[in-house]
Structure 1
Amino acid sequence: MMSRSISSKKLIVLIMMIFTVPFTGFLLVYNFYTVNMLNNRIAETNQSRVEFNRFYLEENLHNVENFMANLVANDRSYGRLRYELTPLDAHLNTFSILEKFKDFLPTQKTAAALFIYTPKNELYRKVFQGDISSDEREEVDHYLRKLVITETDLGQRGWFTQQVGAKNYLFRILGGNGVFTIFMLDLSQATTPGNSSKQDSSNDIFLYSTTQGEALTSKKVVGDAGIVLKGNSDAYYISGKAERYFIVQSYSENAGINLVYAMRYHNFLGAMNPLSLSLLIASIVFIILLFVCFRLLKRNFFTPLSELVSTIERIRNGNIEAKISPVGRIEEFEQVSEAFNAMMDQIKRLKIVAYEQKLEAHRAKLEYLQIQIRPHFFLNILKNLYGLAEAESYKRIQKMILVLSDYLRFMIQEHAVTIPLSVELRNVETYVLLQQMSLSVPINCTIDVDTALNELQIPPLTILTFVENAVKHATVPHTTLKIHIKVRLLQNEDGEYINITILDNGPGFSDEALSWLNGGSDIQTAAQHVGIANVRRRFALIYENKKMFYFDRSNGSCVEIFIPYRNDIVGTEQLR
């Protein structure tokens, strides 16, 4: 069963993840735990501060309630106001109460006003403290007069908030039977013990809110910061837009409002101990380095590898001109790119060479077929047969036809790349016999071959071509044409070579022909020596640059062929 393959990119990422994911997970969990512990510590500190403020506020409210309750229960002037009095008596009693108000108000920094209302005697007296405008005073007075007239059981209502003008105030009403004492607390002036303002030097925010999450103080600051308050929340939370705020709050059951402390959430690193801070920085650096490492891998490994695969894919689709562009700075990829591009150039050159060799093989085969046909030779044979028939030399005709049939059988049927030397020489003998039977002057052909070389593989028509050339060009009237064929095995330091020599006693090659033949000009020799050009071309295809032809003129023509002694060449392969 074959295993599934995986890309190198996925494998490298997988290996990186095996090491980095657990470590990154540990760092993230540890940092989350550290930040959570830090937040809890900050929350505990701030919550303690809020609880202290709540205790301080409720203590003040309790003192106010005690003062008001003592006034309602024990003050004689307050008791008389429950009845209808003369205007003078009513005025004197309310004046006495106002004096007590004036003595009590300075002891309460958050107190804004005290009211004594007796609708029965039509007296509405009040004492204000702090920076309250006349319009706000009139609006408060109007609101409270309407409230004591229209509402019932005001004493059971407890502390409640009411917006008057642009501010929210905390009210407490005690009394009944037509007499009410009212305390008004300015929430915007409510301070924490030891501070002169509701915000410390770091611009953190201390404010009050309703149980529906509506800010009662510092509305503009809360709105500008984009802080969303929660009505009921015992846990800390973080809110804000441009700047984040760490928020804790505590609900005052006595006042019915939330005390909220919002601290700017940007200095939490300063509260971390050195070890936690070092690990947090190390975690951030590690994650950054992880991304940097992946970027480097992508630029210097994944991208060149993808380029290599893409180039191979384009080549597979037929675009052999595709090249790998230099990408990255990895030395091995540069070497692969150079080697691959050089290999493709070599493949293109080899492809061109192979194509040219294929054309050469086709041309050699055509010329080979052309040699096999040789119409003039066969016409001469037919004329000789006709002459013998006229002379009624029937036995010579029969013998000549048998020899001709053997020759034609070899020429027509033999298409192998190579044939045994013995077969080639037998065909030469058949050809010479035909010529002896056709020509008036006989041919003397001698063959000197080592019998151990009879099975030597050579291209067909190798020797026959040069013998035919000798018969055609070396025959001199009234002179016997002598042809000598010699085949020898030579040995030297370069290896074993076969030497094939064909000699004749004719006039020899002309100077121009020798220049062409020894110069290797196939184009020029092909015009007059088709057979020789074909032999040389087929030898070049088979033996490449390991063959050699030498042409000479010494008492006739001399042709010497040198080829390597190769036992691996067999004669079954066809010319393609």
Structure 2
Amino acid sequence: MRIQECKGGAAVKRVRSAKKSLIKFFLILLLITLLCLVSYGVYSVWMYEQQLIFRNQAALDVYSNNLIYVLQDMTSFNQDVYSSDTDFLLLANKADSLPDDQRIVPEYNLRKLMNSRVPNAGAIFFFNKSRSEFFYCFGSDFMGGTITRRHMEFMNQLREHWLDAKQTDLMRWIAFSEGEDVLLMNAYRRADLYVCSILDLNAFIGMHTEGVDAIKYAFFTQDQILTNADYAAQEGITLEMIQRAEANLVRNLYIGNIIQSDYYPAYGIGLSGIMSLQGIWSYSRISVILFLIVFIVICGLFFVIYAFIDRILIYPLNQITNASRQLSGAGEPVRTDYENLLEFSTIQIALDRLVEQKVRLEQDNRTKTQETEHALLQYYQLQTRSHFFLNCLKSLYHMSERGEIEKIRLMILAFSNHLRYVFHDNLLLVTLKSELDEAQDYYQIIQMDRAHPLLLDMEVDQSLLEYRVPPLVVQTFLENSYKYNTNRKKFLRFRVQIDRIEMEGRPYIRLRLSDNGVGYSAEMLKKLSEPDEQFEQYHVGISNLKRRMALIYQNDFQVAFFNAPGGGACSLIYLPLQAEERSEDDACADR
């Protein structure tokens, strides 16, 4: 670097090399990009884990809800049979003394009842101590779904278990395991007769998770892991881990599994989902490899782009400098602090002079622009589509053919009032009463032209009638509702609600304009929510109204457009309260 001196010997700012600055910039940009990529990678891993946790929890909730539903249904069955089933009461009191021909009917009824209530993964079992009653019904998936001698021996074993059980074990769900079979049982006893509902936990979860290999599900109690205990032991997962099941990324990485659990104290059982991170890696491996490839490609692209820009930088900088000098040839210089880079400093000088010229031109052009926009707004307000005139003339013609003189008189009066109102200066405010009268005139026109009636419903605070509003603020939305709701089968209703409201300590007029038609389209809502950049060919009335309100009130107004939940377009407008002296133009507009 070197120091340039002025004629007076004073030193000026040092200028740096653009090439060195470019190198520094690219190094910083590369480091930031790499940091962002690494951060994104870590965030992606975390988000992927959270998505897995969310999906597993959703599945876990579904399975748990199904489990609770089945257990509640089986509990309800036991309670109904125990408390109010006459066949069960008869067998409980007289099973050993009843002759066979009198036992057939109650036994048949109980068999039919349990066949209709047994779940796919469950069984229902009736028995007594003397074995005079011993019958059961299996669900289609219970213990493999096929009845064998082993099943009959197993039911005998369950019978012996309940005959030896304590009274406190009855009327609640308890876990029972024998080898690979894990069951939940709930038994009720009246006299010597038992009714026992059984749920095969392996069959239940297998029925819901068929084809799911990435997640292992384990039922557990406060004392032990009931199902998939071998898998849990192999993975080093203890009952305590399942019971507290924290969704912590570091902890999950440490134990190599994601564990989520739901426990239901009312039934003394819980369900846990265990996802192995090794299994997850098999699904996410391609994504990680693609991420690494993108990482390497981006680094390579940075170096290639830097080499390319470094090689061609000087020429475009010289061209820009020459063009900047030519652009800054006129006008007085604007004194500013320039960049240390010589080339960029020259560009800054030219741009400052261009800005100075632009400001002067904008000052000259602003008035013309406002006048042009005012004229354009007036033009769009006065612009009436040809079909509206033709429809009015056609309606008058048909009325004359039918001899409807009174309707012709009303039509001409309403139409003339409408035209006189439209020709009013669109930037001059009118009274709310005048605007409502215009809406009534327009309503009369379309009522006489419309085959099916349109209901105009007005709820207006009468104390606001003399306050000022922009012209066509109500009529625009009435016209819009009439034009874009062409369904002849539906009774169309347009509602006007106007009241006074306080916002931030200031009074405003609130206009709520709604109908029960098709509502605004998604494209229209998007356009209405954005600032108007140009006049549209369609929906010009609303666009025109928004521009006029912006010119009149600046930023002191609010509008909102939306569709009602039950259908129909809704428009909400807040305008500051203004009560001014009436002018001649206002008197004409007020008719």
TM interval, short-chain normalised: 0.3 to 0.5
Larger-gyration structure (1/2): 1
TM-score w.r.t. the length of structure 1 is 0.38
